[in-house]
Amino acid sequence: MPSEKNLELDELERLERARDDADGDARPGAPEPAPDEELDVPSDALGTAARLWSAASGQRWRLVVAAVCSVAYVAGSLGATAYSAGLIDHLWANIQASFAAGEPFVVSLDNAGIEILTFLGIWTSAWAAYTVQGLVMASFAERLNLRLRSQIADKLARLPLSYYDAHQPGDTISRATNDLDKISEVLQRGLLQLLMAFAMVGGAIILMSTYDLALTAIFVAFALVAGVVTKLVTSYTLKVAAARQEALGTLTGRVEEAYSGRAVIKAFGCEEASEADIAEAAERLAETSASADFVTNAIAPAIRLLMRLCQVTVGLLAGGMLVMGQISVGVFQAFFQYVMQASEPLTQLSLTVNMLQGALAAAERVFALLDEGEVVPDPERPAALPDPVEGRVAFEHVRFGYAPDRPLMRDVSLVAEPGQKVAIVGATGAGKTTLINLLMRFYEVDGGRVTLDGVDTRELTRSGLRRQFGMVLQDAWLFEGTIADNIAYGKSGATREEVEAAARAAHVDFFVRTLPHGYDTMLSNDAENISQGQRQLLTIARAMLTDPAILILDEATSSVDTRTEQAIVRAMEAIMENRTSFVIAHRLSTIVDADLILVMEKGTIIEQGTHEQLLAAGGAYAELYRSQFA
Amino acid sequence: MSEKNHDRHAAARRTRARTPRDYSKRTSARLLVSLVAPYKALLVAILLSSICDMTGMLYIPTQLSAMVNVAVNSRDMSALMGHGVAMLIAALVGSGGYITSVFLTSRLCAKVGRDLRMRVYEASLALSGSDFNAFGTGSMITRTLSDANVIQQTLLMSILMIFPVPLMCAISIWLAFSTDAVMGWVLLAVTLAIVAISVAAVAKSAPIFTRLQGFIDNMNTRLRESITGVRVIRAFGKEAHERGRLDETFNDFASNAIRVNLVFAVTDSMTFFLMNVVEATIMWVGADRVGAHAMQIGSISALVEYAMLIMMFMMMAQFAILQVPRALACLTRAAQVLDVEPEIADADAPAALAAADGAGDEVARFDHVSLRFSDADEDTLHDISFALRRGQTTAIIGNTGSGKSTIAKMLLRFNDVTGGSLTFGGVDVRRLSQEELRSRIAYVPQKAWLFSGTIAENLRHGDADATDERLWHALDVAQGGFVRELAHGLGTRVAQGGTNFSGGQRQRLAIARALVRRADLYVFDDSFSALDYKTDAALRHALAGELSDAATLIIAQRVSTIHDADQIVVLRDGEVVGLGTHDELMEGCPTYRAIADSQTRGGQTNA
């Protein structure tokens, strides 16, 4: 019966959600779990809904058709039940008439057969409406999601670096995946289900009341109790789910810690203590998840029990009426059908409302991402750089701060002549990357200007500016693809020879050749399968291949030992001939020959000059130098 | 070639060896059976409560139809009441049975999940370093936590949604036959038709569904890449390229998700249609049977209800079955960890070491030691010979990948020799138990990893019974005076990994942790690199007095750290290219001289 059909869908949805919650939690590298367990409430439900509606332009007809079909389906199924009351009575009357005549009864077209076929016909029209609704909606939510995802992809390319620096990657990923999935789940089923539930319950109650008011009142009373119970249990469900979440968090923390500190655990013989530690957390997780699973899976049957008690009560009373001849067999059975048709959607109603709220809150987060401020567009008529670019970089009275109220650089000026080696030193957090951020226009200056070959970098397109730079960053970012693809990243269409030449120059060719698939080795999972040092060497090869005018080395060699570093620096020196370079290094030994040393502290440049000048000045650099070479 | 390199080879080989399909099916099935086996009693209880559930559920329409039959035939009020009570009992037994089965199943699955997590964790402890790295920390965490979650949830769903189906079918068909044989055959035919549709639906959707999982993973990976790599992407001007890659995965996902939805919608629709036909058929045939005095009018609705229940359960089972392949993959991944034969295992009857003070002068000796990883063509360490003596400091220096750290790992038996022999206290380390061997060594790892807890708890990893004075003494030697300035001293909280301390502080705490232990051998694996030169020097001075009774092994990158060592081992590409004191090596070892020159250039020209 349709009632069972609804039950089935709801059951699936709940389990699906339970599953998503369960595995979204602990997968490392996956989006951080959104705080699903608390009731997620949208701050502007109407506005968000309106915006979703306008985002669905071109697809809205699907929703309209589906809504019409849903109502048709509900009307059809309620109508079929009403028709079945008359049908059973008709059958029974005919059977009794045959029995009275002392002959067996056989269904034929003119003997109730036509009515059975009509009954089938009514159901078939309900089925048709249901099917159309299902097919029309199959792609609605995913099409809408695809559109929003595509807008997010667009947005990611236009967001300023300040967004990326201020947000956890997991947060953004979660908006593009979990949040949109929540929306599609609700759009796919929840919304129409809500509509159907209201129509079904309302229609069933109205039809029931045409048979008998007292019985209807009993049903309504039970239904209200069921509604209240659901509401109460739902909040309890959230509580046990939160307890499980917490237990899972604890266990995850301990397991991560134990795996990262494995060598220490083994070296100090602490295996047993560590096992006990993990076992305790695992036990706690087992307990909380047993009760969470129990509660989530027991609500539906508990409420169903309530509705069954309703059925028993109604059955006894209606049975009595049947015995008394107050109602017919058909009405008795039809009434029962209504009770069953209306019971299931009722038990799911409050859960569906929660889901709807959660989806709107998710949509708000997605829209918030889409509303983030964007980078200033490139100038319409960008300035031209001389060809070839000489590589003279100058900061002229630069003023900058990450937050407008907390300025870091107040008035910084420096000049890097073509081919010069500029070294940047300073403690962690002293602002060495700030300089690079401004140079590459990852951030815009608040005042003054940065010029390349005398051209204000803001007058260039960003891509035109950045093309002049080769960059090797602290965390060696590689993507899922072959080693060759990764090295050739900055130069599409590079030949295998060019790739190999760059790899040789970066001293990584030998390593690559020892891999079973050489340059075609796939790097996966953020390239966990190769060491940090090797990853850095690959990014150096990548930078070398682009043959840039200016090189930036951001502590790139810090995971490589001194000798390898020297080898790389020599290779760099060769390739950088007549190119400007900015080097950030831990070890002063590699920068004593720099043409210009910038000493940074608290986000600004406090000293600049050559090694000799700075030593003679006896400032911060001199002290740093003495402490390293004492 | 570096060790990581070897690990990756090992990983590749392992996965290749383990992919054959039937193998993975068999192992995952075996693992599942072994996980559930301890809980047979629970399973039986679940089965019994599930029978109660099904019977109760089917008895309600049965009693309802009986009420109708009473009402239209005998009009006997007390019989009516009797059926009412029977219905009440059926409702209570049914719901009670279901709630009990949910209760027991949640417990069972939670226990299975817990056992699996613990088994994977215990197995991980037995793995050697390269075995472990072959899986990778991230993958091991997934295997221990989220894979176990998926298995737990799928098992729960299977027990609640798949197991009851045969019960439901059998009881319904039996009830139908007991009503009327013809109706029994009708219901049997209906059941077979539903099974056929379900099998077809699962066969059609399972591959698409599995592919969809892959697209979800892809979407996550690419998004993460384009967010974490934003600087590189912009530096190379590849924004459009990345956008294209993202759009591609989004499109793939959307078209696949739509296909899955369509398959579900069509299956749903087919089942619905079947329901209608079945209901009409039962009415038609049922009315005939009533007309033939074979059954009563009320039974028609009971039979319709049986058919609907079978259909509903079959649909839930379809959904649950779709989750199974994913859980099987998780089981296979867990089985991979559990099935690894640990490279390093204790001997059956481990030899005992002499008491520390009775032992001779020589603590450990590498005697023509070679190490080749199982999947490598060449030795990582080749023909290494030197001895670690009590009261002496031995230093090892060499470039990345020269095998420095591997030497420390061999002493701790994280790796075993493949040629020559390594003795500790005169006994081959392979004849010692790992526990005994490691209890004689104090180790400071390259990465100064600290555990969450207090400073005192961390230091007592070295020796659980150490007094506070010992801890303070160790801290003083390790130049960890900063602890005295902390408000809570030894009771100061340490965050996971020790991230609330600076790199240099972490290293000093890790050194102190090792010093708390009274050992025959102290191993410092590149432990001074985060210290400034001043602290480095002060620490080495303090250590010299502290460790005069033990052997010391220092693995270092800075020549200045080791130039006072009694002997220096110079490694290049896994071979010893120099052995002697600083002065001897400056004289006779070009590799050593090159390293020293590269580090002192700035110092010499400007000091």
Please indicate whether residue A340 or residue A139 has the higher confidence score (pLDDT): A139
Mean pLDDT of A608-620: 87
Which of B1, B5, B84 is facing A316, going by the closest CB pair?
Answer: B84
User: pLDDT exceeding 90 applies to what percent of chain A?
Assistant: 22
Any B CB within 8 A of A31 CB: yes
Distances (CA, A) of A73 to A77, A195, A337, A344: 6, 11, 16, 16
Count, in order, helices (H) and strands (E) of chain A.
Answer: 22, 12
Any B CB within 8 A of A198 CB: no
CB spacing of B319 vs A15 below 8 angstroms? yes
Residue A29 confidence class, pLDDT cut points 50, 70, 90: very low
Residue B409: Cβ within 10 Å count: 24
Residue A17 has pLDDT above 50, yes or no: no
A-chain residues within 8 Å CB-CB of B304? Answer: 1
A604 beta partners: A601
- Tell me the range of A327-341, B169-183, B395-409, B424-438 where mean pLDDT is highest: B169-183
Instruction: Show the tokens assigned to B208.
Output: 């698409």
Fill in the DSSP letter of residue B114: H
Residue A13 has pLDDT above 50, yes or no: no
Give CA torsion, residues A156, A160, A163, A165, to 10 deg: 110
A-chain residues within 8 Å CB-CB of B538? Answer: none
Mean pLDDT of A331-346: 80
Interface of A with B in 287-346 (CB under 8 A): 287, 289-294, 297-298, 301-302, 304-305, 308-309, 311-312, 315-316, 319-320, 322-323, 329, 332-333, 336
| Phi and psi angles of residue B229, each rounded to the nearest 5 degrees, phi first | -100, 20
Residue A429 confidence class, pLDDT cut points 50, 70, 90: low
Residue A77 to residue B269: CA distance in whole angstroms? 14
CB A339 within 8 A of CB A306: no
Any B CB within 8 A of A241 CB: no
Q: Which residue has the tokens 């010093």?
A: B515
Q: How many residues does chain A have?
A: 630
Residue B281 to residue B190: CA distance in whole angstroms? 10
Fill in the DSSP letter of residue A103: S
Pairing type for strands A550-554 and A580-584 reads parallel
B-chain residues within 8 Å CB-CB of A298? Answer: 99, 102-103
User: pLDDT exceeding 90 applies to what percent of chain B?
Assistant: 31
- Tell me the range of A294-303, A351-360, B291-300 where mean pLDDT is highest: B291-300
Fill in the DSSP letter of residue A475: S
CB spacing of B276 vs A127 below 8 angstroms? yes
Give Cα B70 distance to the centre of its chain: 61
pLDDT score recorded for residue A628: 57
Least confident of A362-376, B2-16, B82-96, B114-128: B2-16
Instruction: Show the tokens assigned to B556.
Output: 């270092």
CB B246 within 8 A of CB A156: yes
Disruptive mutation site among A6, A144, A164, A262 for chain B (greatest number of B CBs within 10 Å):
A262
Instruction: Give the closest-approach CA distance of A70 to chain B in angstroms.
Output: 14
- Please give the radius of gyration of chain A, using alpha carbons only, rounded to the nearest integer: 36
Residue B16 confidence class, pLDDT cut points 50, 70, 90: very low
CB A160 within 8 A of CB A374: yes
A-chain residues within 8 Å CB-CB of B517? Answer: 268
CB spacing of B246 vs A153 below 8 angstroms? yes
CB A422 within 8 A of CB A610: no
Residue B134 confidence class, pLDDT cut points 50, 70, 90: confident
B-chain residues within 8 Å CB-CB of A319? Answer: 67-68, 70-71, 80, 83-84
CB spacing of B236 vs A466 below 8 angstroms? yes
Q: Which residue has the tokens 């390898």?
A: A564
Please indicate whether residue B400 or residue A520 has the higher confidence score (pLDDT): A520
| Phi and psi angles of residue B19, each rounded to the nearest 5 degrees, phi first | -75, -25
Residue A65 has pLDDT above 70, yes or no: yes
CB spacing of B261 vs A23 below 8 angstroms? no
SS3 state of residue B576: strand
CB spacing of A28 vs B138 below 8 angstroms? yes
CB spacing of B438 vs A266 below 8 angstroms? yes
Residue A346 has pLDDT above 70, yes or no: yes
Q: How many CB pairs under 8 A join A and B?
A: 480
Residue B510 confidence class, pLDDT cut points 50, 70, 90: very high
CB A296 within 8 A of CB A14: yes
pLDDT score recorded for residue B472: 93
Any B CB within 8 A of A534 CB: yes
Indicate the pTM of the whole model. 0.79
| Phi and psi angles of residue A600, each rounded to the nearest 5 degrees, phi first | -115, 145
B-chain residues within 8 Å CB-CB of A299? Answer: none
- Residue in chain B closest to A437 (alpha carbons) equals B231
pLDDT score recorded for residue A586: 65
Disruptive mutation site among A537, A545, A629 for chain B (greatest number of B CBs within 10 Å):
A629
Which of A161, A252, A534 is facing B230, going by the closest CB pair?
Answer: A161
Please list, in sequence order, all residues whose beta carbon lies within 8 angstroms of the beta carbon of residue B31, skipping any fewer than 6 positions away.
B331, B334, B335, B338
Any B CB within 8 A of A142 CB: yes
- How does pLDDT run across B232-242, given as a tens digit for each residue? 888 888 888 89
Residue A40: Cβ within 10 Å count: 20
Please list, in sequence order, all residues whose beta carbon lies within 8 angstroms of the beta carbon of residue B129, skipping any fewer than 6 positions away.
A262, A263, B3, B409, B414, B415
Q: Closest Cα to residue A351, out of A287, A303, A291, A288? A: A303
CB A609 within 8 A of CB A597: yes
Disruptive mutation site among A135, A293, A520 for chain B (greatest number of B CBs within 10 Å):
A293
B424 beta partners: B364, B427
Please report, as a single letter, which amino acid is at residue A474: Q
Q: Closest Cα to residue B149, out of B116, B103, B190? A: B116
Residue B15 has pLDDT above 50, yes or no: no
Residue A565 confidence class, pLDDT cut points 50, 70, 90: low
Peptide bond into A42 cis (omega under 30): no
Mean pLDDT of A203-222: 89
Residue B580 has pLDDT above 70, yes or no: yes
Please list, in sequence order, all residues whose beta carbon lies within 8 angstroms of the beta carbon of residue A268, skipping any fewer than 6 positions away.
B438, B443, B461, B462, B513, B517
- Residue in chain A closest to B255 (alpha carbons) equals A142
CB spacing of B231 vs A442 below 8 angstroms? yes
3-state secondary structure A210-232: HHCHHHHHHHHHHHHHHHHHHHH
A-chain residues within 8 Å CB-CB of B443? Answer: 263-264, 267-268
Q: Closest Cα to residue A178, out of A31, A45, A51? A: A31
B-chain residues within 8 Å CB-CB of A12? Answer: 316, 319
Which run of H or of E encompasses B555? strand B551-556
- How does pLDDT run across A574-594, given as a tens digit for each residue? 666 678 888 886 666 667 788
Residue B511 to residue B519: CA distance in whole angstroms? 13
Any B CB within 8 A of A377 CB: no
DSSP assignments along B339-403, one per residue: H---SS---SSPBPPPPGGGS-SEEEEEEEEEE--TT-SS-SEEEEEEEEETT-EEEEEE-TTSS
Residue A564 to residue A570: CA distance in whole angstroms? 10
Give CA torsion, residues B380, B384, B388, B389, to 10 deg: 180
Residue A285 has pLDDT above 90, yes or no: yes
CB B291 within 8 A of CB A95: yes
A400 beta partners: A409
Pairing type for strands B419-424 and B362-371 reads antiparallel
Residue A161 to residue A167: CA distance in whole angstroms? 10
| Phi and psi angles of residue B383, each rounded to the nearest 5 degrees, phi first | 50, 55
Residue B403 has pLDDT above 70, yes or no: yes
Residue B90 confidence class, pLDDT cut points 50, 70, 90: very high
Least confident of A567-571, B326-330, B475-479: A567-571
Q: Closest Cα to residue A588, out of A578, A597, A601? A: A597
CB spacing of B247 vs A116 below 8 angstroms? no
Residue A276 confidence class, pLDDT cut points 50, 70, 90: very high
Mean pLDDT of B406-423: 87
Which of A269, A463, A629 is facing B237, going by the closest CB pair?
Answer: A463
Residue B400 confidence class, pLDDT cut points 50, 70, 90: low
Task: Give the start-end residues of each E strand in B461-535.
Answer: 493-494, 521-525
Any B CB within 8 A of A516 CB: yes
CB spacing of B247 vs A153 below 8 angstroms? yes
Please report, as a single letter, which amino acid is at residue A172: T
pLDDT score recorded for residue B255: 93
Q: Closest Cα to residue A293, out of B111, B314, B329? A: B111
Residue B46 confidence class, pLDDT cut points 50, 70, 90: very high
Residue A630 confidence class, pLDDT cut points 50, 70, 90: very low
For chain B, report the end-to-end CA distance as a whole number of angstroms.
37
Q: Which residue has the tokens 């129990």?
A: A294
Q: How many residues does chain B have?
A: 607
SS3 state of residue A583: strand
Please indicate whether residue B13 or residue B529 has the higher confidence score (pLDDT): B529
Residue A244 to residue B286: CA distance in whole angstroms? 51
Looking from the CA of A455 toward its CB, the CA atoms found within 13 Å total 19
B-chain residues within 8 Å CB-CB of A188? Answer: 261
A-chain residues within 8 Å CB-CB of B292? Answer: 104-106
pLDDT score recorded for residue A23: 36
A-chain residues within 8 Å CB-CB of B301? Answer: 88, 333, 336
- How does pLDDT run across B202-258, given as a tens digit for each residue? 888 888 888 888 888 888 888 988 888 888 888 888 888 899 999 999 999 999 999
Q: Which residue has the tokens 């104090």?
A: B442
